[in-house]
Amino acid sequence: MAGLAYDAIESHDDLVAFSRQYAREARREWLLDVRLDLVEWDVSTRARRRAAAVKRPRVPDATIGEPIDWNRVPDSDGRPLPCTVSLSWEAFEAFSRAEWESTLRHELLHVEQFQRDGTTDHGAAFKRRAREVETDVRCRTFATPEWLFRCGDCGTEVARRYRDCAFVREYEAYRSDCCGAGLVRSQPE
């Protein structure tokens, strides 16, 4: 792939440029039915659990597997509404080039579903298509959680939390699904 080299990415702008460039290549190589002119790109420095995400408007009554008539969607001029692929800087830093490209193909599948059906999910249709483009439905963990909770009996990891929330403050009120035991807060590795 000509253009910006993966190892030369040093800024958010570079990451967006590389990812756009790869999206064009992937569209051709993997026969992804996406209109990249309707896709915006940004970079998140807050994301901890997702490597990337497609931010899209909610389209009422949209259903996976039922192509949408964009002419009937408010604010549409007959074309799919724009969406944004939000990339996680921390995931990019943790992933190999192959993992990052797989992440981009995953997000392009969401764009493909959204542009065709007006919605997207990780259901059976997505899983089938993910196998076709050799990507995963879930990405590996790339960030260290602030809090880790384990079952008080068997020690199984029950929950990870990256930000303070009600669960973190009140974890003593919860029970594990595995043994029904109280939770123990432990140090992330």
Q: pTM for the complete prediction?
A: 0.81
Write the pLDDT tens digit of every residue in 75-89: 999 999 999 999 999
Q: What is the pLDDT of residues 138-173, one digit of tens each?
A: 877 777 788 889 999 999 999 888 788 899 999 999
Angle between helices 124-132 and 97-117 (to 10 degrees): 130
Report the CATH superfamily, name and number, of domain 6-132: Metalloproteases ("zincins"), catalytic domain (3.30.2010.10)
Query: Rounded distance, CA 155 to CA 183, Å?
Result: 9
Domain ranges of the chain: 6-132, 147-186
End-to-end CA distance of the chain: 37
Q: What is the pLDDT of residues 85-103, one digit of tens each?
A: 999 999 999 999 999 999 9
Mean pLDDT of 118-126: 96
